[in-house]
A and B are shown apart, each in its own frame.
Chain A
Amino acid sequence: DTEVTQTPKHLVMGMTNKKSLKCEQHMGHRAMYWYKQKAKKPPELMFVYSYEKLSINESVPSRFSPECPNSSLLNLHLHALQPEDSALYLCASSQERTEPTDTQYFGPGTRLTVL
């Protein structure tokens, strides 16, 4: 089973709202990722968690706050977003990020619209 689930599928929020995106995997993977993807662009890495610890933050603005409560769950907390943050937010997981053959599997994504 290579399934990564994400909720919600769609989210519309105002610039003053606080919301959270959720990602879950039950493949025993120890690395989890958040990506942002704008239309007709490749996925852009935001954060990487390895063994529940934040290992990479690609200089993401603080209005995005990741959280990894346990090895199966990954959240992305959103606050005071801007319209330009509207995008498809993708979660991915992999077995172990230090292996060069490590393969990432993507969830279906959350389509976020900021009004």
Chain B
Amino acid sequence: QKEVEQNSGPLSVPEGAIASLNCTYSDRGSQSFFWYRQYSGKSPELIMSIYSNGDKEDGRFTAQLNKASQYVSLLIRDSQPSDSATYLCAVNLDNAGKSTFGDGTTLTVKP
């Protein structure tokens, strides 16, 4: 079992729809969770970080964390073609000094 797993893509949604990206992790000691967006040929860009159970909203993005289920998700409301990218879930262990990344989910938003 991989330490961090993301729902297999690619994921395609129409413009204006809600895109839902999911991530599960295996280590219950995981403390911090991050979503990065990566456009083709570019570097990862931090979108959201979440540390506590529940929802965290930032504009059109909502991160949801459920530590009991070892599950973190990212919702993108009113999806735009510019949201088309690969989304990476990253997890930090307590004092581990490094992030473990999932394989990423590629999202395509069709006009």
Residues of A within 8 A of B (CB): 31, 33, 41-43, 45, 48, 50, 55-56, 88, 90, 97-109, 111
Interface mask (B79-101 → A, CB under 8 Å = 1, otherwise 0):
00000000010101111111101
Q: How far is the CB of A94 from chain B (nearest CB, A)?
A: 9
Q: Is B103 an interface position by the 8 A CB rule?
A: yes
When distances are taken between beta carbons in the complex, the residues of chain B under 8 Å from A56 are 97-98
The closest CB in chain B to the CB of A45 belongs to: B98
When distances are taken between beta carbons in the complex, the residues of chain B under 8 Å from A108 are 42-43
State whether B32 touches A31 (Cβ < 8 A): no
A103/B31 contact (C-beta < 8 A), A42-B104, A50-B97, A90-B43 known: no
Interface size counted on chain B using CB atoms at 8 A:
26
State whether B97 touches A48 (Cβ < 8 A): yes
When distances are taken between beta carbons in the complex, the residues of chain A under 8 Å from B93 are 100
27 A–B contacts from the bound complex (CB under 8 Å):
A31-B97, A33-B98, A41-B103, A42-B88, A42-B104, A43-B44, A43-B88, A43-B101, A48-B97, A56-B98, A88-B43, A90-B43, A99-B95, A100-B92, A100-B93, A100-B95, A101-B51, A102-B32, A103-B32, A103-B34, A104-B99, A106-B43, A106-B46, A108-B42, A108-B43, A109-B42, A111-B41
Docked Cα-Cα span, A99 to B49, in Å, equals 14
State whether A103 touches B97 (Cβ < 8 A): no
